[in-house]
Structure 1
Amino acid sequence: MIFFDTIGTMAIGSRLRMLSERITEDARQVYELYGVGLKPKWFPVFYVLSQNNEKSITEIAKEIGHSHPSVSKIVREMSKDGIISEEKDKNDGRKNNIKLTSKGKSLALKMENQCFDVKSAVDDILVQTKHNMWNAIGEFEFLLDDKSLLKRVIEQKKKRESYNVEIIPYEEKYKQTFRQLNEEWINHYFKMEEADRKALEHPKEYILDKGGHILIALYKNKAVGVCALIKMNESEYDFELAKMAVSSEAKGKGIGWVLGKAIIEKSRSLNAKKIYLESNTVLTPAINLYQKLGFKKIVGHPTPYERCNIQMELNLG
Structure 2
Amino acid sequence: MNLYQSLGYLVLGSRLRRLSEGFLAEINRAYKNEGIDFDASWFPVFYLLSKNESLSIKELSEQTEVSHPAASQLITNLKNRKLVTSVTSADDGRRQMVQLTDSGRTLLAQILPVWDAILLTMEDVINNDPACKHLLPSIGALENAFKNVNLSDRISDKLNIKARANE
Q: Same fold (TM over 0.5)?
A: yes
- What is the one-letter code of the residue matched to 1:19? L
Structure 2: gaps of 5 or more residues:
none
More helix as a share of residues: 2
Q: Which has the higher contact order (CA 8 A, sep 6+)?
A: 2
Matches within 5 A, 1:107-118: 107-118=107-118
Name the counterpart of 1:130: 131
Give the letter for the 1:111 counterpart.
Answer: I
Give TM-score, length-normalised by structure 1.
0.50
2:51 & 2:103 partners in 1: Cα distance? Answer: 15
What TM-score does the superposition give when structure 2 sets the normalisation length?
A: 0.92
| Alignment partner, residue 153 of structure 1 | 155
Cα displacement (A) at 1:20? 1.3
**Could you say what secondary structure the match of 1:98 adopts?**
strand
* Equivalent residue, structure 2, for 1:2: 2
Determine the structure 1 residue equivalent to 2:164. 162
Correspondence for 1:143: 145
**Gap runs ≥5 in structure 1:** 165-219, 221-317
Larger Rg: 1
RMSD between superposed Cα atoms in Å: 1.4
For residues 213-224 of structure 1, the aligned pairs below 5 Å read 220=167
Q: Distance in 1 between matches of 2:149 and 2:4?
A: 25
Q: Which runs of structure 2 are paired with 1:1-317 in the superposition (5 Å)?
A: 2-127=2-127, 128-131=129-132, 132-164=134-166, 220=167
The whole-number CA distance in structure 1 between the counterparts of 2:100 and 2:154 is: 42
DSSP-derived class of the 1:109 partner: helix
Residue by residue over 1:112-148, the C-alpha shift from the partner in whole angstroms, topping out at 9 and shown as x without a partner, is 2111110111122222241421111000001001003
1:79 is matched by which residue type in structure 2? K
Structure richer in strand, relative to its length: 1
Deviations 1:89-123 (A, max 9, x none): 12211110000011111111112211111011112
User: Alpha-carbon deviations, 1:184-226, whole Å to 9, x = none?
Assistant: xxxxxxxxxxxxxxxxxxxxxxxxxxxxxxxxxxxx3xxxxxx
Q: Distance in 2 between matches of 1:158 and 1:72?
A: 41
Shift of 1:18: 1.1
Letter in 2 for 1:130: A
CA distance in 2, matches of 1:33, 1:151: 46
What is the aligned length?
165
Runs of 4+ in 1 over 3 A off after TM superposition: none
Per-residue CA distance 1:133-189 (angstroms, 9 max, x = gap) = 11110000010010032233122222322322xxxxxxxxxxxxxxxxxxxxxxxxx
What letter is aligned with 2:57?
A: I
Distance 1:27 1:148, change over 3 A: farther
User: 1:118 is paired with a residue of what secondary structure?
Assistant: helix
Counterpart CA distance in 1 for 2:139 and 2:24 is 17
Q: Which region of structure 1 is more displaced relative to structure 2, 147-156 or 73-82?
A: 147-156
Q: Match of 1:177?
A: none
SS in 1 for 2:48: helix
